[in-house]
Amino acid sequence: MPTLNWIGKEAVVNHHLQVPFHLLKDVPSLACGDPGSGNLIVQGDNLVALKALLPYYAGQVKCIYIDPPYNTGNENWVYNDNVNSPIIRDWLGKVVGGDGETLDRHDRWLCMMYPRLSLLRHLLREDGVIFISIDDSEYERLKLIMNEIFGEPMHVATFIWKRRTTPDSRNLNGVSGDHEYVLCYQRSSGFRVHGQAKDLSKYSNPDDDPRGPWMSDNLTGLANAVERPNLHYDVIHPTTGVRYKPHPSRGWIYGRERMQELINDNRILWPKKAEGRPRLKRYVTDMQSSTTGLSTVLDAPGNVEATKELSNLMGPKTFAFPKPSRLISLLISQATGPNDLILDSFSGSGTTGHATLSANQLDGGHRRFILIEMESKIAREITAERVRRVTEGYENGNGKKVAGLGGGFRYCELGDPLFYKDGKIREYVSFDDLARHVYFTETGEPLPREKQTTSPFLGECRGVGIYLLYNGILGDKTVNGGNVLTRAILAKLPKYDGQKVIYCAGCLLGRDRLQAERIIVRQTPYEIKIS
C-alpha cells in the first residue's frame, strides 16, 4: 500500500501515546439546560482533550464528524486555515523540534492531523464511522494518511457535497470549484449507511402521529414509465366513499392490494377536494430502513444557506464558512441510531451539536454529542452559545421567536495533567478521576458510565478484577490509610473469585499469599501509566 512521508512524520506517528492525560474541569456557569443529558462541550487543545476523553469514551462513539482547517493558506479569518496559529507553531516546535522551522504548510497540516486522527480512531465503536469534510487543498494527503491509520479497506465512500450554486469568478484558471468532499471511513468492516440521504427538514409531525415525523409524498406513477393496467383503478375513501381517479397516463405507484394496506394503516392523506388525489405519509423511519445510499449529496444546502442559517441564529458575520446543519444531519441520519454518541473535535460554530438535536427532534431519539473547540472565545461565545440558543429557543434575524429543541450540555475546560513530570499523582486528583484512568490503562476500555466509583473494586474485565486503594477509599483518611495492601485491608476488599490486579501505595503481603490469592500488585504511582 502506498504511504506518504513528510518532514516531521517520525515525530508524530506515535505522538498520541506520549500525550499526558489531563483532567476535565466542569464550568457549571456555562452549562445549559439539563447537564445530565449526556451532551458535553470541551474547550481546549483537541489533541489533549481527545486523550482526556479516552478513559470515559474509548470505543463508545458511533459517529465522528470533523471539519478541520482545509489548509488553503488563508490566515485572515477567525479559524486560521494555514495551520500557522501560535498554538500550533508552539506545539510543532516542542514535538518536531528544530525541523519544525523548515516545515511547509502541508507538512504542518499533516503533523497536526495525524495524532488527532489516531486518537479519534480509538474513540470509535467497532461499528463506528468517521466523516471528514475536506476540499482539494489536502484531499489526496488526507486519504493517504486515513488509509494508513484506519486501513485502506475501511474506506466506505467519498461523498461529494455541492457547496455553491453560482460560479466563483475569483478562480484564475477559469474553473469554478463548486464542491467539497466528505471522506467516510469505518472502524472495522460491516458498517452500512441507512440509506439515501434525504432532506430531514421536510419531515414534521403536525398530527402527533405516534410513528413519528412524516412528509407528504406522491402516489402518482412516474412520467414515461411503462403503462401497467393494474395501476389504473379508483381509490375509495373508506369513510366518505369518495372515489379518486388515477392519473390518466401514469396511474398509481402501487397496486390495489398494497394501496389497501396503506389505507388500513392510516398512511393515506386524503385531499379536501374531490378532484385532487390522495398522497402518502412517508415517515423518517421509512427513509432510514433503505439499504442503498448515494455518494453525491444534493439535498443539503450550500455555503450561502449555511451562512444565512448561522446569521439568523447568532447575528451577521459570526463565523466564516460554516457548514449547514442539514448536511451534518443527513450524515448523522445515515450513520446513527436514536441512542448513539456523536463527536466533533473541530466544532467551530457548533453545527454538529445543532444537527444532533435536530435529528433527535425528528425521530424522537436521544443521541448525545461531544464538541471540542480549541479557542476559548469561540467555544464560549459561538460554539456553546449557538447550542444554548438551539436548546432553549431564540429570536431569529427577522424577529421571529423560534422554539428550543430541548436538552442541555455540560461545559468543561481542560485542567492540569493527572501526574507531575516525575510521575507522582497530583494532590487534588480524586478517587473517581484516578479510578477511571487506572481502569482504562489496565484494560483498554473505559469504566462503564453507570459505575459508581465508591468502592475499591472498580470492576471485572475479561476475567480480571481491578482494584484501586487510593485516597482512603475504605474510610481511613490518614497518610497511606487503607492505601497499603495488608492482611486486614485484603479482608475488607469486596470479594472476586478470579485473577486480581490491585493498585496500591505499598504491599505487606508475602509472595506466597499473593500467589494463593491470585493477586498482581501494581504500586502507585510508579506503575500507573501516565500517558
Read off the pLDDT of residues 215-268 as tens digits, 9 standing for 90 and up: 898 888 765 445 567 788 999 999 988 999 888 888 888 888 888 989 998 999
442 and 410 within one domain: no
Does residue 345 fall inside a structural domain?
Answer: yes
273 and 153 within one domain: no
Does residue 230 fall inside a structural domain?
Answer: yes
375 and 363 within one domain: yes
At CA 454, angle to CA 453 and CA 456, rounded to 5? 85
243 and 355 within one domain: no
Residues 527, 504 contacting (CB under 8 angstroms): no
180 and 312 within one domain: yes
Exposed (0-12), middle (13-18) or buried (19+): which is 96, by Cβ within 10 Å? buried
345 and 308 within one domain: yes
| Nearest of 491, 515, 519, 517 to residue 504 by alpha carbon | 519
> What is the number of alpha carbons within 13 Å of residue 267 lying toward its C-beta?
20
470 and 496 within one domain: yes
Cα separations in angstroms, 422 against 94, 419, 476, 526, 527: 19, 8, 27, 9, 12
* Cell numbers found for residue 499: 485473577
Total domains in the fold of the chain: 3
* Cell numbers found for residue 258: 398494497
Instruction: Give the end of a domain, one of 221, 256, 287.
Output: 287
- DSSP notation for 244-272: EPPPTTT-BSS-HHHHHHHHHTT-EE--S
Does residue 409 fall inside a structural domain?
Answer: yes
Q: What is the pLDDT of residue 77?
A: 44
158 and 70 within one domain: yes
Average the pLDDT over 350-361 and give the result: 92
Instruction: Give the end of a domain, one of 416, 441, 466.
Output: 416
Q: What is the pLDDT of residue 52?
A: 96
Residues 47, 414 contacting (CB under 8 angstroms): no
Does residue 2 fall inside a structural domain?
Answer: no
**Segment of 209-223, 309-323, 429-443 carrying the highest mean pLDDT:** 429-443
Global pTM reads 0.79
431 and 357 within one domain: no
**Rounded distance, CA 507 to CA 487, Å?**
10
310 and 282 within one domain: no
487 and 444 within one domain: yes
- DSSP notation for 150-204: H-GGGEEEEEEEE--SS--TT-TTS----EEEEEEEESSTT----SS---GGG-B
Does residue 25 fall inside a structural domain?
Answer: yes
- Tell me the pLDDT tens digit for each residue of 176-205: 567 889 999 999 876 766 654 455 667 888
**Rounded distance, CA 44 to CA 52, Å?**
11
Cα separations in angstroms, 398 against 309, 385, 394, 401, 463: 12, 19, 11, 9, 61
Residues 339, 367 contacting (CB under 8 angstroms): yes
At CA 465, angle to CA 460 and CA 470, rounded to 5? 110
Domain that holds residue 255: 206-287
* Cell numbers found for residue 389: 440558543
409 and 363 within one domain: yes
| Nearest of 82, 59, 54, 88 to residue 69 by alpha carbon | 82
Does residue 529 fall inside a structural domain?
Answer: no
- Tell me the pLDDT tens digit for each residue of 255-294: 888 889 899 989 999 988 767 889 999 887 665 444 445 5
Instruction: Give the end of a domain, one of 267, 287, 307.
Output: 287
Average the pLDDT over 388-405 and give the result: 88
Q: What is the pLDDT of residue 384?
A: 96
Does residue 4 fall inside a structural domain?
Answer: no
